[in-house]
Homo-oligomer: A and B are copies of this chain.
Amino acid sequence: MSFKITILGSSGALPVYGRHPSAQLVEIQSRFFLVDCGEAAQMQLMRFGASYHRINHIFISHLHGDHYLGLMGLIFTMHLQRRAADLHLYSHRGLDEIITTQLRYSRSAPSFRIVFHRLEKDAQGVIYEDDAVTVETIPLVHKIRSSGFLFKEKPKPRRVDKTRLPEGLLIRQLAGLKRGEDVVDDAGAILYRNADLTLPPRRSRSYAYCSDTAYVERIADQVKGVDILYHEATFTLDDEARARETLHSTAAQAATIARLAHAGKLVLGHFSARYKELEPILEEARSIFPEAHLALEGVEFIIPE
């Protein structure tokens, strides 16, 4: 089952050298989540052949332009294509006003319902949940209210071992096996022990998105053991003073969070316009956390089952 992050953009505030601002498509078990939606995100979705029709939930980390300015264009496009399904938007306060104001002046009543979910300042908690996935906020520290997002698969069922399965089991008995129960007869006597017919569940995968933020060590606690951590790395150590001043992070700081969290992989992004070449950012991170990668546009990060 899928768990894939597609980078649509990872530029800092200035979209230079052909780099696009922050946006990612996160696919988990055929659910499609958009995380941040910088300017031209809809074109990037088209460019990389990603369907935007199936996106039902969009998470906006904060209301700086490079993280949400592509949203209005995407909404207009969905409307023009007669989208019917509700669209859920998760954001700190203000996005509802920004969007409804623009809809009003364009005299557009969208073909679908937009449901606004307001994130609370500094809150850490589950904001989305379905039968297989949860999304929780990660409080970040930035010039305005900013949240990261932690995507987690829920615990999975045990897997029935087809090679050892006796004939004639009932559907409810199969379901019970997946829940870890033994197969019993009507009187409650055990016919088969669960451990004899099943394999352990596949592990639950997770992905954390952290942008924009100063260095905040408690992020590592919340994302402990995450498969992939995306952490902004706007600057290198040479510009640490500038990072502190603007409440951004260096590549070394991002790597430190990844190391403290025992993350599987670190993905670096939100590159400042001062870096035309990104190798120094990558090298700085790898000196602390070897499994570091750059969030280059069009690259897919897949978490295997």
Contacts and interface: CB of A to CB of B under 8 A. Distances in A.
A95 to B, nearest CB: 8
A15 B52 CA distance: 13
B65 A73 contact: yes
Interface in A237-296: none
B106 A70 contact: no
A195 interface: no
Contact of A43 (B40, B95, B144): B40
A276 to B, nearest CB: 13
Interface string A4-26: 00000000011110101100000
B16 A107 contact: no
Interface in A56-82: 63-66, 69-70, 72-73, 76-77, 80-81
A143 to B, nearest CB: 7
A47 interface: yes
A36 to B, nearest CB: 14
B77 A14 contact: yes
A73 B69 contact: yes
Given A16-B46, A76-B13, A39 B106 contact: no
A94 B107 CA distance: 11
Interface residues of A, number: 38
Interface in A176-191: none
A101 interface: yes
A85 interface: no
Nearest to A73: B39
Given A39-B39, A69-B72, A73-B39, A63 B106 contact: yes
B98 A94 contact: no
Name which of A42, A72, A97, A106 has the most chain B CB atoms within 10 A of its CB: A106
A15 B39 contact: no
B14 A80 contact: yes
